[in-house]
Chains A and B, each alone.
Chain A
Amino acid sequence: EVQLVESGGGLVQPGGSLRLSCAASGFTFSSHWMSWVRQAPGKGLEWVAYIKQDGSETHYVDSVKGRFTMSRDNAKNSLYLQMNSLGVEDTAVYFCARGYTGFVFFDFWGQGTLVTVSS
């Protein structure tokens, strides 16, 4: 059974940092593009970043470029999102999502982890 379990969310002050993790199981992690998608409270979905199977390529939404870094460890079946210089606009539930083989639409999603940026 495919499982994606996010962790690392919490309350952080503006300007602070947080590292999210996503533990994957039940599939060949190294064969899939992976992504982070966020959803602010009561709002729609916003794609944040995705990473190629071998980690050699990453893409980010403009609003997080230079602040967020996505990475993966295929030996540990894990995905990460390092978030720096956080602002209140980054408050959201962050979902880890699996890309369909070779493409970046998402066939499995984690339950999400809540990041709250507030003083």
Chain B
Amino acid sequence: DIVMTQSPDSLAVSLGERATINCKSSQSILYSSNNNNYLAWYQQKPGQPPKLLIYWASTRESGVPDRFSGSGSGTDFTLTISSLQAEDVAVYYCQQYYNRVTFGQGTRLEIK
């Protein structure tokens, strides 16, 4: 199985500052035939189900603010929030769908 490892486990960022969350897969999740990275990012707030933010590593889901962006390829990926807002406090998960499904352990994002 593909193991997804996120870093850091928790992060505190000041309002308006940039937040960066990393995700590393134990093997490449780049599918060579279509050049797509099979990686998604989710946001989960307390008491709510997860919400899809990003798929194909960098495609923003409809309705997601453009301060959220995804990047990376192969085994190393990043979710960036360009200017942190109070409503962005949540746990963030990466997920690979290259070979079955696995999630990262989550990164808790708080306000400094």
A: residues with CB less than 8 A from B are 35, 37, 44-47, 50, 59, 61-62, 95, 97, 100, 103-107, 109-112
Closest beta carbon of chain B to A41's beta carbon, Å? 12
CA distance A117 to B67 in the complex (A): 41
CB-based contact B93/A104 at 8 Å: no
Partner of A59, one of B50, B91, B100: B100
Contact residues in B for A50 (Cβ distance below 8 Å):
100-101
Residues 54 to 107 of chain B near chain A (Cβ within 8 Å): 55, 61, 91, 93, 95, 97, 100-106
Closest to A95 in B: B49
CA distance A100 to B106 in the complex (A): 21
CA distance A47 to B101 in the complex (A): 6
- Given A45-B93, A62-B1, also A107-B52 (CB < 8 A): yes
Is B21 in contact with chain A by the CB < 8 A criterion?
no
Select the residue from B1, B40, B105 with max chain A CB neighbours within 10 A: B40
Contact residues in B for A62 (Cβ distance below 8 Å):
1
Report the count of interface residues on B (CB-CB < 8 A).
22
CB-based contact A109/B49 at 8 Å: yes
B: residues with CB less than 8 A from A are 1, 38, 40, 42, 44, 49-52, 55, 61, 91, 93, 95, 97, 100-106
Contact residues in B for A110 (Cβ distance below 8 Å):
49
CA distance A47 to B105 in the complex (A): 12
Contact residues in A for B49 (Cβ distance below 8 Å):
95, 97, 109-112
CA distance A16 to B95 in the complex (A): 31
Contact residues in A for B51 (Cβ distance below 8 Å):
109
CA distance A5 to B44 in the complex (A): 18
Given contacts A95-B50, A106-B95, A107-B52, 5 further A-B contacts (CB under 8 A): A44-B93, A45-B42, A47-B103, A59-B100, A103-B55
Contact residues in A for B50 (Cβ distance below 8 Å):
37, 45, 95, 106, 109
Closest beta carbon of chain B to A76's beta carbon, Å? 22
Closest beta carbon of chain A to B24's beta carbon, Å? 16
Contact residues in A for B93 (Cβ distance below 8 Å):
44-45
